[in-house]
Amino acid sequence: MNTINRIQTHDLGKRWGYLGLSLLINATGHSLTIATNLGSAVWTASAVNLYHIWPLSLRTTLFICGVLVAIANMILTRQLSWHRFCGNLLFITPFSYLIQLFTQIIIHLGINQLPLLVRIAIDIFGILCVALATSIYQRANIVLHPNDDFMQILRFRYLKGNATIAQMVHYIPPVLIMLVTFLTAKQLYAVNIGTLICLFFQGTFIGFFDQHMFKGLRHYGISNLMPVMHA
C-alpha cells in the first residue's frame, strides 16, 4: 500500500510540474500570436468578434464564453461536477495574467518591426507552442481551460480518441459565432493566417505532440469519459 501511495504521490507531483510547464509554454505561444497580430486561436477570435457587437468588455466576454463552455462540458459528460467546473474557471486566471504580461514584454522587444515573413514564422511557432502546451496539460489533466476540456471530452467520450476530428468539431461553435457576428457587423476581427492554421491543423499538432513529446506523460483521468465511446 505504501508503494502504491508513493507512486500516486510521484504521479501527482509530476502532473503538477507538467501543468506549470504547460502554462508557461501556452502563455508564450498565445503571446507570440497576439503580438505578431497575424491571427491565433479560433475561440479567442470568436470572443473578439462578439466584443465588437455588444457593450461588454473583452475580458468580460472571454469570461462569459468560458462559463458557457464549462457548463456545456458538464452537459456533455452528463455529470454535475463542480470540481470540473471550478477547475475550468480557475485555469483562466493565471493563463490570462501570463498572456497579458508576456504580450507586453514581446511587443516591447519590437517584434512588429520584423519583416512579415519572419513574423509569420514566429506566429506559426507560437501556434505550435499552444498545441504542445495543450497536449501536455490535457494529459496531466489536473485543471483545464474550458475550451480544451471541451475538446478532450469530445475526443475521448465521443470520437474514439481522434484529436484531429475532435479539434475540428470543437471549433464548430466559435465558427458559428463568427459567422453570426460577420452577418451582423459585416466585418471579421482577429482572423488571419494563424487562425486558419489553428482551424485546420491544431488537432493534428496536438495528436503529434501526444505521441512524440514527453512520452512518459500519459493521459490521466479519462476513464470516466470512456464508457460512452465503447457503448
Residue 129 near residue 209 (C-beta atoms within 8 A): no
Tell me what pLDDT residue 3 has: 42
| C-alpha dihedral (193, 40, 131, 137), degrees to nearest 10 | -170
Residue 147 near residue 72 (C-beta atoms within 8 A): no
Mind listing the pLDDT tens digit for each residue in 180-197?
999 998 888 878 888 888
Using pLDDT thresholds of 50, 70 and 90, give the confidence band for residue 113: confident
Q: What percent of the chain has pLDDT over 70?
A: 90
Using pLDDT thresholds of 50, 70 and 90, give the confidence band for residue 226: low
What residues does each domain of the chain span? Answer: 12-230
Give the three cell numbers for residue 213. Answer: 513529446
Average pLDDT over residues 130-149: 87
The residue ranking higher by pLDDT, 231 or 107, is 107
Using pLDDT thresholds of 50, 70 and 90, give the confidence band for residue 128: very high
Residue 60 near residue 147 (C-beta atoms within 8 A): no
The residue ranking higher by pLDDT, 85 or 8, is 85
Mind listing the pLDDT tens digit for each residue in 34-67?
888 787 778 878 887 888 898 887 777 878 888 8
Q: Which of 169, 211, 171 is nearest to 191 (CA)?
A: 171
Tell me what pLDDT residue 225 has: 59
Full-model pTM: 0.77
Using pLDDT thresholds of 50, 70 and 90, give the confidence band for residue 112: confident
* Helices and strands of the chain, counted as H and E runs: 10, 0
Q: Does 201 score more than 50 pLDDT?
A: yes
The residue ranking higher by pLDDT, 154 or 80, is 154
